Amino acid sequence: MTKQSIAYKDTGYFSKLMCDYLDEASSLQEFYGNFPKLANFQKQIALKKESFSAESRAVLVDSLQKQYKNITLSEATQKNITSLSEENTFTITTGHQLNLFTGPLYFLYKIFSVINLSEQLKKAYPDSNFVPVYWMATEDHDFEEINYFNLFGKKVQWKRKDGGAVGELSTEGLADVAAILLKQFGDSENGKALSSLFSEAYLKHDNLAEATRDLGNALFAKYGLVIVDGNDTDLKKAFVPYAHKEIESQLSFNKITKTTQKLTALGYPEQVHPREINLFYLDKGIRERIIEKDGRFYINETTLEFSKDELLELIEAAPEKFSPNALLRPLYQEVILPNLCYIGGGGEVAYWLQLKDYFESVSVPFPVLLLRNSVLLMPTYLSEKLKKMEVPLESLFLKQSDLRTKHTHQISEVAIDFSTQRTHLEQQFKDLYNLAEKTDASFKGAVGAQEKKQLNGLDHLEKRLLKAQKRKLKDELERLTELQNELFPNQGLQERTLNFSEFYLEYGDILLSELKENLDPLHHEFTILEL
């Protein structure tokens, strides 16, 4: 693979907030702790080591051993789980929904970001250990967001009744999906490997959480990836004091609202809206908001209601019945993991930036925030086409209409630029203005109106010439458009649409090894890999 990169801000696909964060804009520095630079991790290690207890480590290791009881552990993963009991072991974490068969490509980029950063930190700080962690979003309830993946331009969809936390959903109905994929993947060596990967994960486990763990383990176990399910009674016991604060004082709402107001005052949009209570009530088949009204606490869309004391007692007795939402989940994660860094996409990092004041109010160290690697995979045959057309790689990130216009200017035999004529015309009118100075104001106004009319006429003619040249060069522009469409499906980033299986069919395990080799999580630029 050959590797190139482009600044995130030059792609047009990343928010001003993310670009400013990567540029370490002074206006944003109060919203995060240590910036993701190798040298800053020494401070983060000291911060977390001081706050994370041996008891917390013991609970975590015990829970992980139980969670992995139905999975064959690799030596690397078992070693990492065991090492979490040691005070010099820390985690590097990313989180992701339980998308069917990993969902979009960027799932792989998230995982390799945590794996590679863990290895870089081990080299820089050999006296400590660093464990790559994938936090499964098992408590999400947005089934429609995860029940499909895209393959060859079509949705492969899992159809079943939804409800409750997705991790607890049975794998019923996935045998039908496996049968479809068997035909789609075909009987090549890589096709058979993909079919086997899907069947082993989804047909041999009873629920989606276990299936996703099996799949993640099959893909990344040799790198020591540890997969965490936060929907765990023992782990949630550690979160009880913070859940109490949520009910008693609505602390997260008050703190996060103030921080969010500061961010919006700087011109950045609100990523996630804080609610008065940022906890869900969780039970079989339901995950619903907790709403306080006149001193009573109601479970949305149910007949359940509690007094404050009843709800607090239930949190103590059955913490598994409570689930943090998107704004509280980061705190839960940092409470139960010896974590140094959270790696996420732009949207995730954006809502983490709303949380620092809240973390400080509950005395939990705020982690380093790192934007995950973003990648464009470019097959060699498309790269060769691009070179033949003499199109700069960065041009492909333009909006399609702008790309076509730019390329038309580049290959047109006639210059589609009337700037010379415009300068000549402006000089003529300058002479007329000098003449107008010697007459009355009405003549000067007439000169101005005529100048504007003729300059507008030139602009119109230039647009007509551009349009004519686009018609003349239609064939090449169509080839360029098709090329961009292939690399940017639906005129969006490839990583947000395509599934890894399309590339695995062609390249097999080489795809994974090359991603592992080429992704540098601390290189804050968009990566293009030619396959």
**pLDDT score at 457:** 85
Least confident of 14-18, 145-149, 186-190, 429-433: 429-433
**pLDDT score at 449:** 84
**pLDDT score at 91:** 98
* Rounded mean pLDDT, 443-458: 83
| pLDDT surpassing 80 at residue 442 | no
| pLDDT surpassing 80 at residue 409 | yes
b/e per residue 19-32 (b: at least 16 CB within 10 A): bbbbeeeeebeebb
Question: How many Å separate Cα 70 from the centre of its chain?
Answer: 29
Q: Please give the Cα distance from 355 to 255 (Å, whole number).
A: 8
| pLDDT surpassing 90 at residue 199 | yes
**pLDDT score at 451:** 82
Q: Give the pLDDT band (50/70/90) at residue 65.
A: very high
Q: Please give the Cα distance from 247 to 310 (Å, whole number).
A: 11
Q: List, for residues 361-392, the tens digit of each pLDDT value.
A: 999 999 999 999 999 999 999 999 999 999 99
| pLDDT surpassing 90 at residue 441 | no
| pLDDT surpassing 80 at residue 447 | no
Task: Go through the chain and tell me how many residues it has.
Answer: 531
pLDDT above 90 as % of the chain = 87
| pLDDT surpassing 80 at residue 474 | yes
Q: Please give the Cα distance from 67 to 471 (Å, whole number).
A: 62
* Rounded mean pLDDT, 278-288: 95
| pLDDT surpassing 90 at residue 29 | yes
Residue 311's SS3 state is helix
Higher pLDDT: 446 or 378? It is: 378
Q: Tokens 């794996």 map to which residue?
A: 115
| pLDDT surpassing 80 at residue 173 | yes
**pLDDT score at 475:** 95
Q: List, for residues 306-317, the tens digit of each pLDDT value.
A: 999 999 999 999
Q: Please give the Cα distance from 214 to 199 (Å, whole number).
A: 10
Please report, as a single letter, which amino acid is at residue 77. T
| Adjacent-strand bridge partners of 282 | 287
Phi/psi zone of residue 505: left (φ > 0), alpha (ψ -120 to 50 degrees), beta?
alpha
* Rounded mean pLDDT, 225-234: 98
**pLDDT score at 446:** 81
| pLDDT surpassing 90 at residue 68 | yes
* Rounded mean pLDDT, 171-183: 97
> What is the residue-averaged pLDDT of the chain?
95
**pLDDT score at 414:** 85
Phi/psi zone of residue 228: left (φ > 0), alpha (ψ -120 to 50 degrees), beta?
beta
pLDDT above 70 as % of the chain = 100
* Residues 2-156+208-230+327-374+510-530, CATH architecture: 3-Layer(aba) Sandwich (3.40)
Angle at 268 between CA 267 and CA 269, to 5 degrees: 120
Q: List, for residues 211-221, the tens digit of each pLDDT value.
A: 999 999 999 99
Give the strands of the sheet with 305-307, arranged side by side. Answer: 305-307, 296-299, 286-293, 279-283, 322-324
* Rounded mean pLDDT, 318-326: 97
- Please report, for the chain, how many H helices and E strands are present, in that order: 24, 15
- CATH 3.40.50 domain residues, the chain: 2-156+208-230+327-374+510-530
Higher pLDDT: 342 or 460? It is: 342
Q: Please give the structure tokens belonging to residue 424.
A: 């000549």
Q: List, for residues 84-105, the tens digit of each pLDDT value.
A: 999 999 999 999 999 999 999 9
Q: Give the pLDDT band (50/70/90) at residue 42.
A: very high
